[in-house]
Amino acid sequence: MKLSEKKCVPCEGGVPPLTADAIGELLSQLPDWTVIHDHHLEQSFKFEDFASALDFVNRAGQVCEDEFHHADFELGWGRVNIKIWTHKIDGLTESDFVLAAKISEVA
C-alpha cells in the first residue's frame, strides 16, 4: 500500500523513534523530502506568488487536520517550508511519512 493511502496513527508516546534503516526504507517512497539528523522530515515548495503559497498551506493544513497529525509550516513570498516529526517521542514515526506523502499529493 502506498504511504498516501494509509492513515496517520496517533502516538501516545512510550515508543522509540524509527531506526535509520526504517527511515531509509520509508524515505525511498518520498523522493522530494529530506530527513534531518534522523529526527524530522523537511521539504521546501516553490510557488509563483504569495497567494499560491498561502493556498497550498491551507490545503496542506486541511490534510493535517484530517489526519489529526500536524506539520510545522513556514510561509513566505513564493515559498513554503515544511517540517514534520512526532513531538510526543521527539523523532520520526511511520505516520510522519504518511503525512508527508499526503501533503506531496496536494502540492
Q: What is the pLDDT of residues 9-59, one digit of tens each?
A: 998 888 999 999 999 999 999 999 999 999 999 999 999 999 999 999 999
How many whole angstroms separate alpha carbon 83 and alpha carbon 35? 10
Phi-psi region of 38 (alpha: psi -120 to 50; beta: other; left: phi over 0): left
Q: What are the structural domains of the chain? A: 39-107 (3.30.1360.20)
Say which residues have a Cβ less than 8 Å from residue 74's Cβ, sequence separation at least 6: 80, 81, 82, 83
Q: What is the pLDDT of residues 63-107, one digit of tens each?
A: 999 999 999 999 999 999 999 999 999 999 999 999 999 999 999
Q: Find, among 59, 6, 57, 52, the residue nearest to 29 by Cα.
A: 6
How many whole angstroms separate alpha carbon 76 and alpha carbon 58? 14
